[in-house]
Amino acid sequence: MLRAEATPILPEDSTATLTARLAAIGARLIVDVLHAAAAGGLRAHAQPADGATYAHKLDKREAWLDFGSNAGALARQVRAFDPFPVACARCGDAILKFWRAHDMPGPAVAAPGTVLAAAADGLRIACGLGTLVVTELQRPGSRRMSAAEFLAGTPVRAGEVLAGPPPAAGAPA
């Protein structure tokens, strides 16, 4: 390593916001490295093995939300998959993409995937533990929008159940 700088991952960060912040830091650090190299003061250091991990390439199949999971984990999954592959779930035959969400800790209050409330401030979905509140989402063929905008054109009612991916062709439903 020629230079390193730490930056926190904030609770509201998504892959998109973190990538932009890291790009700005990297651009600044490369200028510092070039100046140091020109001045003859450049020293390389080995990357510490502690804390280094391998992250595999994301796959679209990982984007499906499992509402049986903890709502906090699902909120992090939504942020991790923005801008790609975008977290999603089925509502009937439609695939909804979730762009912004947060969790409300607490016990399970309904079957996982059950819509508890559909309001302008968010779509509240029961999870295995806690509630996922989706505040920005997208329906097929449309742009991403706030929950209020989404619900104005797509009625979602309390009691509806959101699900994971459709069964593979030939697999039992």
pLDDT for 168: 65
Q: Torsions phi, psi of 149, nearest 5?
A: -65, -45
Q: Give the pLDDT band (50/70/90) at residue 173.
A: very low
- Tell me: do 148 and 67 sit in the same domain: yes
d(CA 77, CA 132): 11
Farthest-apart Cα atoms in the chain, separation: 67
DSSP per position, 29-94: HHHHHHHHHHHT-----PPPSTT----PPP-GGGGB--TTSBHHHHHHHHHHTTTTT-EEEEETTE
Cis status of the peptide bond prior to 83, with omega within 30 of 0: yes
Residue 171 predicted with pLDDT over 70:
no
- Tell me: do 66 and 148 sit in the same domain: yes
Give 68-84 pLDDT, tens digit per residue. 999 999 999 999 999 99
User: Which DSSP state fits 171?
Assistant: S
Question: Looking at the domain assignment, is residue 159 inside a domain?
Answer: no
- Tell me: do 29 and 98 sit in the same domain: no
Q: Which structural domain, as residue segments, surrounds residue 143?
A: 60-153
- Coil/strand/helix, residue 149: helix
Question: Looking at the domain assignment, is residue 83 inside a domain?
Answer: yes
Give 52-109 pLDDT, tens digit per residue. 888 888 888 899 999 999 999 999 999 999 999 999 999 988 999 999 999 998 988 9
- Tell me: do 86 and 49 sit in the same domain: no
- Tell me: do 35 and 101 sit in the same domain: no
Tokens of 166: 């459709």
Task: Report the CATH number at residue 145.
Answer: 3.10.25.10
